Amino acid sequence: MKNQHKINRRTFLKFAGGAAVIAGGGFLAQRFDVFGRAAKRLDRIANPRKIEAEFIRQIVTRDPSVSRTIMWQSEAAAVEWREVDAQEVQRAAATNEDFTDDGRAAVLHAAGIEGLTPGRRYEYRLVSGEEASEWRPLTTPAERGGFKALIFPDSQSSDYSVWRDVAQGAWKRNPDAGFFVNMGDLVDNGEDHTQWDAWLSAVAPMIEQIPFAPVMGNHETYDRNWQVRLPKAYLQEFAVPDNGSEAFSRYYYSFDYGSCHFAVLNTQMDETADFKQGLLEEQLAWLPEDMEKSRKRWKIALLHKDVLQYRIHQRPERTEGFSDIGEAFMPVFDTLGIDLVLTAHLHTYRNRGHIEAFRRSPKGPVYILTGVAGDVRYPNLWVDHALDEVVAPQPETDNYLVLEAKEEALVIECFLPDGTRIDRVEVVK
C-alpha cells in the first residue's frame, strides 16, 4: 500500500506539472492546488503523523482476558486495536475529562477495549483525525491458565529513580509478566502532581504494554500541606473496575486473571472518615458477594495496611498483636477460603505463613507483608512478630515479588533489586 501511495503521489505531481506548462496562469494555480492537496492526503494516509501522547497506560479490567482500559493525556480522540498481523482494525471513542489538581489543569482520556479473545496477541494505538501513535502490544491471558505477575510494595519516594530501577529491573528479569500491582503509597504526597508524573514515567513502557492494578494507600490521601483529604488524584488517574458503590467508586474493586480472582480492598477508613462514612461496612458486605460470584481456583486479597501490629524499638508501650485492619478482615478471609493475603505499609518484608483464627495454623490464608520499593525506609524500627516466619535481611533495601499461578500451586518469590531471591512461598490445595 505504501508503494502504491508513492506512485499515485508522483502521478499527481507529474500531471500538475504538465498542466502548468500547457495552461499557465490562473489554471496553473487552481490545478496545482487540487492535485497538491490530493498528494498531501495520500502522504498522510501512507505516513500518518505521530501523536505525542503522555502517560499512556493499560488499566486492569474486571476480566482482562476479554477487555482492557487504556488511559492517557493528550488530544487523541480514540483507541484502535487489532490482532497482531491482522488487517481488521476496531475503534473505541475515548472519554475526555478535565482534571485540575495541585494548580495544574490536564485532560485525562480513557477508552475501553471490549470483545477480545482470551489467549491472543493484540496491539493498540491512539488516533485523532489523521494522526496516530505507534502500535503497542496488548496480550490477553487464557481464561484459566497459569501466569506470572509482578507485585511491588510501597513506591513512595523523595527521588523516584530508585522506584524506576526496581520496577524496570523486575520487568527486565520477568518479561513474561502478565500484569503488575503496586500495593499502595504509590507516591509520597497524593496532591503533588510532580510525583504522579515521576511515578508514571518510572514505569514506562511497562505500563503501556501490560495492565496495572493499583491499591490505594494512605499517602494518596495527603494534600500539599500534609493534611488528609479525599484521594482526588488517585481516583482520577486509574479507572479501575466498577464496584457498584455510589460513595466509594474506584476505592476498592476486584478482577480475574487466569486461574485467580483478586479482591483489591481499601484500608483508608481513618483517612476518609471525616469526609465519608461506611467504607469498612461497604467492603465487608461486598466481599462475600464478590467472592461468591467467582469460579476461579485461587482467591487473593490485596490490602495496603497490614493485619499485624508490631512492637517498635524504644517504644515499650506498643504491644504485639493484630491491627484494626486485621481484626476486621481476617475472620472474613477465614470464612471465605482466601488463599493468599498481600499487605504493605510498614516498608518491611515479612512472611507469616498460614494464619487462621488469629493463630498459626496449617489452614487459613498465607499472609505476606510485601516490603518496600521506593527510597523511604524504616531501618531497625520493627521488633519481630511472633508470627513472622521469614524476615528480609537487615538493614532492609528495596525488593519486589513475583507471583506465579499454576494449576497445582501459587508460588510467591521475593527478590532484592539485583535479582537475589530472599524467600519463596508455595501455596497448595
**Beta partners for residue 125, in sequence order:** 80
C-alpha cell at 398: 528495596
Tell me the C-alpha distance between 159 and 64, whole Å: 32
C-alpha cell at 361: 495454623
Tell me the C-alpha distance between 65 and 255, whole Å: 10
What confidence score (pLDDT) does residue 17 get?
35
Contact 394, 378 (CB under 8 A): no
Q: What is the pTM of this model?
A: 0.88
C-alpha cell at 178: 502478565
Q: What's the pLDDT tens digit per position in 26-84?
A: 433 333 344 444 444 444 445 557 777 899 999 999 999 999 999 999 877 899 999 99
Tell me the C-alpha distance between 219 and 188, whole Å: 6
Residue type, position 248, single letter: F
Q: What is the mean pLDDT of residues 169-187?
A: 98
Residue entry with cell 533489586: 417
- Helices 2-23 and 25-46, interaxial angle, to 10°? 170
Cβ atoms within 10 A of the Cβ of 390, count? 15
Q: What's the pLDDT tens digit per position in 123-174?
A: 999 999 889 999 999 999 998 889 999 999 999 999 999 999 999 999 999 9
SS3 318: coil
What confidence score (pLDDT) does residue 335 get?
98
102-127 burial, b at 16+ Cβ within 10 Å, e below that, comes to: beeebebbbbbbeebeeeeebbbbbb
- Give me the phi and psi of 88, to 5 degrees please: -70, 130
Helix (H) or strand (E) holding 291: helix 279-293
Contact 209, 58 (CB under 8 A): yes
Task: Give CATH superfamily name and number for 54-139.
Answer: Purple acid phosphatase-like, N-terminal (2.60.40.380)
**Beta partners for residue 149, in sequence order:** 179, 403
Residue type, position 393, single letter: P
Candidates 1.10.10.10, 3.40.430.10, 1.20.1090.10, 3.60.21.10; CATH matching 147-428? 3.60.21.10
Q: What's the pLDDT tens digit per position in 392-407?
A: 999 999 999 999 999 8
Tell me the C-alpha distance between 71 and 94, whole Å: 9
